[in-house]
Amino acid sequence: MTRTKRDLLVAALALGAVVATPIAAAQADDDPTPQERTQIEAALRQMGFTSWDDIEREDDGRVWEVDDARGADGHKYDLKLSVGDLREISRKRDD
| % of the chain with per-residue pLDDT over 70 | 76
Tens digit of pLDDT for each residue in 37-55? 999 999 999 999 999 999 9
pLDDT at 15: 57
Long-range contact set of residues 29-32: C-beta below 8 Å, sequence gap at least 24: 29/57, 30/56, 30/57, 30/58, 31/55, 31/56, 31/57, 32/57, 32/64
Mean pLDDT estimate for the chain: 84
For residue 12, the model assigns a pLDDT of 61
- Judged by phi (left if over 0) then psi (alpha if -120 to 50, else beta), residue 84 lies in alpha
**29 — pLDDT class (breaks 50, 70, 90):** confident
pTM: 0.69
